Structure 1
Amino acid sequence: MTLCIVTYSVDGHTRALAQAIADGGRGQVFDVTALTEADWSTLDHASAIVMGAPTYMGGLPATFVQFIETAASRWDTGQWRDKLAGGFSTAMHPSGDKLNALMSLFIFASQMGMIWIGNTETGAPVVPENEGINSDGSWVGVTASVPKSGTKILSDGDLETARLYGMRMRAAIARWEK
């Protein structure tokens, strides 16, 4: 069972979310700006690929789109068909149009024939004891908002949401590969 998290991060926020997903799912993080042939081989043989990037002006940054365009070369061979997939994004604002970035990832995964796994964590006020969990209310994928002040790169709740999502991906891999 291999969980790969591919990400692009400028200021460390998206990288922190990727690492939390990896920690929860016992996965490995790959920076799209430094992929080697061995990394591409690992992705090609992975059970699941979770993709994430910051949301820039309502979409994915060009650097991550370059990864998508390179990965799309696997479309005609079906190399990524039936792999599990998921996504995550960060932005400065609670909305920040992160849904649009997630939808771009979802559409890419769907075109590749991948099986999308969404986020299932429900936070407060619906589940009062889950204060800070899924505070953006995103179920398509995991999202996080950059804190406006303080020394933390992301809130504890956003990092915990990502960790729980990693656990969900790991469980989905186990079910899918039976």
Structure 2
Amino acid sequence: MTKVLVLYYSSYGHLEQMADAVAEGARAGGAEVDIRRVAETAPDAVVAAAHFKTDTAHAVIEGPDALVAYDAIIVGAPTRFGRMPAQMAQFWDTTGGLWFSGALVGKVGAAFTSTGSQHGGQETTLFSILTNLLHQGLTIVGLDYGFKGQMGVEEVVGGSPYGASTIAGDGSRQPHAEELAAARYLGEKVAKTAAKLFA
């Protein structure tokens, strides 16, 4: 059985919900799945003033070496001005030793994100995540157009061929059913791809 890690950062819970959906899809694809989050690095005063969601069922990842145990790594982070936030970037900045040794080469990778607005940088944020995965040697799986939910224009929803996404608005909008379906599709596709590569 392939092992999939869903690694995320979430300030307000949107990416936490997407992570759960990604994991659900990966399990449907036959994988053993762990969900971990990266540590919060914002000062406590900022977390409190901004009303970040601090209760979660998911443990903080033990460190970069934990990545080695997985066949696939699916990374989720919200946008900060069109790129991944510092919390996730700081984690990947600690993976230099893995890069040097080639420990992640050949694994499968994918990305998911959220933005406050429809055109708030979803694709550039996905690319900022995928760039790290490509440098580490992962084989990238996107949200292909086999997922027809990203083809509609009747409703405003996230989704791009580069990864699953949700639109949070002012924070009150929760992930749409179609966005959660996209996350499940992505997780399942990653799990099935990894299973083929590591059969």
TM-score by length of 2: 0.78
Give the CA deviation at 1:125: 5.2
Structure 2 counterpart of 1:2, which letter?
K
Residues 99 and 18 (structure 1), Cα distance of their counterparts in 2 relative to 1, 3 Å cut: same
Question: Any gaps of 5 or more consecutive residues in structure 2?
Answer: 28-32, 40-59
Correspondences of 1:132-143 after superposition (within 5 Å)? 135-143=157-165
Q: What's the counterpart of residue 104 of structure 1?
A: 128
Q: What secondary structure, in the 3-state scheme, does the structure 2 residue paired with 1:75 have?
A: helix
Is the CA contact 2:65–2:98 (under 8 Å) kept in the aligned structure 1? no
Structure 1 counterpart of 2:111, which letter?
G
Residues 165 and 125 (structure 1), Cα distance of their counterparts in 2 relative to 1, 3 Å cut: closer
Q: What's the counterpart of residue 90 of structure 2?
A: 66
Correspondences of 1:35-46 after superposition (within 5 Å)? 35-36=61-62, 40-46=64-70
Q: Deviations over 1:103-139 (max 9, x none)?
A: 111111111111000012222656x9xx77x933400
Is the CA contact 2:115–2:169 (under 8 Å) kept in the aligned structure 1? no
Cα distance between partner residues in 1 of 2:159 and 2:10: 22
Cα distance between partner residues in 1 of 2:132 and 2:192: 23
Correspondences of 1:149-164 after superposition (within 5 Å)? 153-164=174-185
RMSD: 2.2
Is the CA contact 1:55–1:91 (under 8 Å) kept in the aligned structure 2? yes
Residues 12 and 113 (structure 1), Cα distance of their counterparts in 2 relative to 1, 3 Å cut: same
Cα distance between partner residues in 1 of 2:150 and 2:62: 42
Aligned pair count reads: 171
Q: What's the counterpart of residue 77 of structure 1?
A: 101
TM-score by length of 1: 0.87
Cα distance between partner residues in 2 of 1:74 and 1:149: 35
Cα distance between partner residues in 1 of 2:190 and 2:183: 10
Q: What secondary structure, in the 3-state scheme, does the structure 1 residue paired with 2:149 have?
A: coil
Matched-pair identity in %: 25
Structure 2 counterpart of 1:46, which letter?
Y
Q: What's the counterpart of residue 37 of structure 2?
A: 31
Q: What's the counterpart of residue 168 of structure 1?
A: 189
Give the CA deviation at 1:147: 5.2
